Amino acid sequence: LKSNPSNNEEKEAQTQLTKSDELQRLHSQALSAYQQEDYQAAISLLDEILAVCVWDAELRELRAECYIKEGEPSKAISDLKAAAKLKNDNTEAFYKISKIYYQLGDHELSLSEVRECLFLDQDHKQCFSLYKQVKKLNKQIESAEEFIREGRYEDAISKYETVMKTEPEVPIYSTRAKERICHCLSKNQQATEAIKLCTEVLQLEPTNVNALKDRAEAYLLEDLYEE
């Protein structure tokens, strides 16, 4: 403005200044809402700011944190992915993305994100510890699925039982393991056990198509056609 004070530019400069003040005010409000644990309010304020300040990694990380606190981790992923690109060597973002994928039951994506973290810093303690856990679980699940493809149902059942012991804290892995064990029991003509286990899965996930199909197969083995 000082170098070239024409009318048009003065108007533009004033508009930008006003907008800048407004964004700073919204930023203070967002931080205050976050500190007061009003995450929903913080998210809507951050939405307004990020519509203008698209490339602000820290604001994206803050919004991701709000989504996590609100129990919407899958929404946090895109903000964290952007933050990982916008900030150099952002191991923290990769760690959080990997952790979220792991909690959501996507062990393969979790593994690939935690590897990105270790690629940036091979001595990162949290990432290394998560990497060991995910890699172990991933290997067991792959091995169990290989047994199923080969028709070795007893081996697959035993491997999925190991999966449940490896990760007892995140419920989705137990549910998936039970779903696959039910499949193996049904294929192995152990109808009673299959019906019992599939029913357990369906109490947790009433619309689980695989469990419904496998339980139907088991009912057929028992001549329970109506069921």
Note the pLDDT tens digit of each residue in 176-226.
999 999 999 999 999 999 999 999 999 999 999 999 999 999 999 999 999
Q: How far apart are CA 129 and CA 133, in angstroms?
A: 7
Q: Where does residue 11 rank: exposed (0-12), middle (13-18), buried (19+ CB within 10 A)?
A: exposed
The pLDDT of residue 177 is 98
Q: How far apart are CA 127 and CA 116, in angstroms?
A: 9
Q: Are 184 and 197 in contact (CB under 8 A)?
A: no
Give the pair of three-digit tokens for residue 189: 């003509």
pLDDT digits (tens, 9 = 90+) for 36-64: 999 999 999 999 999 999 999 999 999 99
Fill in the DSSP letter of residue 87: S
Q: How far apart are CA 170 and CA 103, in angstroms?
A: 6
* Long-range residue pairs from 143-151, CB within 8 A, at least 24 positions apart, any chain: 144/180, 145/180, 148/180, 148/183, 148/184, 151/187
User: What is 151-226's CATH number?
Assistant: 1.25.40
- pTM for this prediction: 0.88
**If you average pLDDT over every residue of the chain, what do you get?**
95
Q: How far apart are CA 181 and CA 138, in angstroms?
A: 17
The yes-or-no verdict on residue 136 having pLDDT over 70 is: yes
11: confidence class by pLDDT, cuts 50, 70, 90: confident
